Structure 1
């Protein structure tokens, strides 16, 4: 019995140690514990405040429990029950007032910060971005710039960005942990949130609401650059060339016009049921999760469901020669732009 108890304790200790080690794993750009903007900073401060209060309460209760455990344990030679003490008005008032005071300490900054984050800014005060969530990708529109794009969200540093979020299908949630959030995207309704990146960098975003088979793969990337770099990106995206350069790419363009343009746009032409592909070759990831290279693109076009289960892109059952032509054409859709940030 004793050895079984020791085995259980060793197993518990191993699990606790492994849990502690695993907390250090993960992507630092996908963590609310590394805030990189004023919204994330204020939310992180609230987390530290509440954690500190809860840790303090736990410590006091634990110390009192240990004191009572030792002070009032059964003594050697003791018979019968010890003297019973019932009721203490002073103690009852203290342990009623203290939690009330602690709740006030947490509630006041929480409500204050909550109202501040609820503010909505017009285009004179913040850049406007419309976000539409789809199963399982993200669409970004810059209404004042006339830009539609997908998966890669470019924003200028040191400037508020007012997001208007909605959904094209089911409920999703827009979340950029290092910048703040999250907020639900509801079909047929709009929610609003503002965020700001204080320094250049690449920050990961996720869908934080279970939304279907590929929910875990519904990622996007935020690229925060200075204002000059952002303006350069916007200008080059709007003037991007979509003219194919090789004969194979010209064949791919014809395949695209015949099979793909109803759902996907390149430049100002095409549908919006699928991601805009104007700068597809400039993105580091395909479908938000795959390395952006010809081999992975060929696999995606061959069988999208095998690569990202549950997504809404149908298998067009194209022959390999047409897929090769499409890969060539889409591989040329690149803007001459360097954001100056390390690749991820």
Structure 2
């Protein structure tokens, strides 16, 4: 009885598994391209599907015609007419697949050369150039202007942005499905790709290479701004001084210093950058890549016991911070903003 029920459920289960790839966070899809590279991937995928559908329809149509028309009939014991060695048929079923492969080959090769990019910054002096370093399990973005951002990377709309890809520990893979393809971050090797956003927005990114127990939580965001807004953000990021960040939350700043947070997290160009830079922490939508920035309880848990939220990460635990100090520390972290009041981004 159980086997019978399982047999009935199998198609529904398979359908759910198939459809599970269609759902998820907004913009985390390659089926809604928002950039030139993503559009090329999407167009080639559709072209491949059209060709495969055409081939499948023709093959199955011929198959069913043959099954119906030439099926063995009662009393018919004669051998069918043999057609092996038919030159016209052999040429036909050789030429058609070759033509279909050429149709796929040409855009694939031309696009591959178009989207290839050199990792040498001197080759891209007129482009925004960002060095991306993958860590377990967060992303570091170093800008040519001399500042660092973590977990969220800002780019100008309508411009090709060059990303130089490196890794600190193991192999990661940088992927923004709505904007382009993926390329690996490999320790000791510099790869590169370019992305271009056609319109302002927030585009979700993922690590696409299994890199440890918290690989699935290694998210980041690409925030595309109009050029004027982007320039304003860059100016704000370069202008921040660490001492100024404590103006609205001095008690929290003291907790931050006392617990040696600045030994791992740089603020306004001061401190170490072994962990994500916190200069614009209050502007972010997520912390640890995946948790809502407004969730005080989760943020406190992250500071006290980071392994409980992201297994295998390198952030040290701070279980001894009191509730009062934790509230002050969270207030300070939320005060770390560079976005001008009233800005659209």
Judged with a 3 Å threshold, the aligned counterparts in structure 2 of structure 1 residues 297 and 115 are, in CA distance, closer, same or farther, namely same
User: 2:161: which partner in 1?
Assistant: 161
Q: Counterparts of 1:338 and 1:315 in 2: how far apart (Å)? A: 34
Equivalent residues in 2 for 1:91-170, closer than 5 Å = 91-120=89-118, 122-143=123-144, 145-170=145-170
1:327 paired to 2:330: yes
User: 1:194: which partner in 2?
Assistant: 194
Tell me the secondary structure at the aligned position of residue 262 of structure 2. coil
Tell me the secondary structure at the aligned position of residue 221 of structure 2. strand
Deviations for 1:80-117, whole angstroms, at most 9, x for unmatched residues? 65455444222122111211121111111111110000
RMSD (Å) for aligned C-alpha atoms: 2.6
Tell me the secondary structure at the aligned position of residue 246 of structure 2. coil
User: 2:171: which partner in 1?
Assistant: 171
1:291 paired to 2:289: no
Deviations for 1:177-236, whole angstroms, at most 9, x for unmatched residues? 111021000001100111111111110000000100000000001110100111111112
User: 1:249: which partner in 2?
Assistant: 252
Q: TM-score, normalised by structure 1?
A: 0.89
Equivalent residues in 2 for 1:21-40, closer than 5 Å = 21-22=19-20, 24-40=22-38
Equivalent residues in 2 for 1:228-239, closer than 5 Å = 228-239=228-239
2:71 to 70, 73, 78: 73
Tell me the secondary structure at the aligned position of residue 273 of structure 1. coil
Q: Counterparts of 2:61 and 2:314 in 1: how far apart (Å)? A: 57
Confirm or deny: 8 A CA contact 1:244 1:253 kept in the other structure. no
Confirm or deny: 8 A CA contact 2:256 2:262 kept in the other structure. no
Q: Counterparts of 1:316 and 1:94 in 2: how far apart (Å)? A: 72
Confirm or deny: 8 A CA contact 1:206 1:218 kept in the other structure. yes
User: 1:279: which partner in 2?
Assistant: 280
Cα distance, 1:118 vs structure 2 = 0.5
User: 2:312: which partner in 1?
Assistant: 310
Deviations for 1:247-273, whole angstroms, at most 9, x for unmatched residues? 5224324324xx222211011111121
1:42 paired to 2:40: yes
Q: Counterparts of 1:339 and 1:49 in 2: how far apart (Å)? A: 44
Confirm or deny: 8 A CA contact 1:28 1:34 kept in the other structure. no
2:303 to 301, 304, 308: 301
Q: Counterparts of 1:339 and 1:285 in 2: how far apart (Å)? A: 21
Judged with a 3 Å threshold, the aligned counterparts in structure 2 of structure 1 residues 65 and 330 are, in CA distance, closer, same or farther, namely same
Cα distance, 1:69 vs structure 2 = 1.1
Judged with a 3 Å threshold, the aligned counterparts in structure 2 of structure 1 residues 291 and 6 are, in CA distance, closer, same or farther, namely closer
User: 2:216: which partner in 1?
Assistant: 216
Aligned length: 337
Q: Counterparts of 1:192 and 1:168 in 2: how far apart (Å)? A: 16
Q: Counterparts of 2:328 and 2:130 in 1: how far apart (Å)? A: 34
Confirm or deny: 8 A CA contact 1:255 1:322 kept in the other structure. no
Q: TM-score, normalised by structure 2?
A: 0.89
Q: Counterparts of 2:230 and 2:341 in 1: how far apart (Å)? A: 11
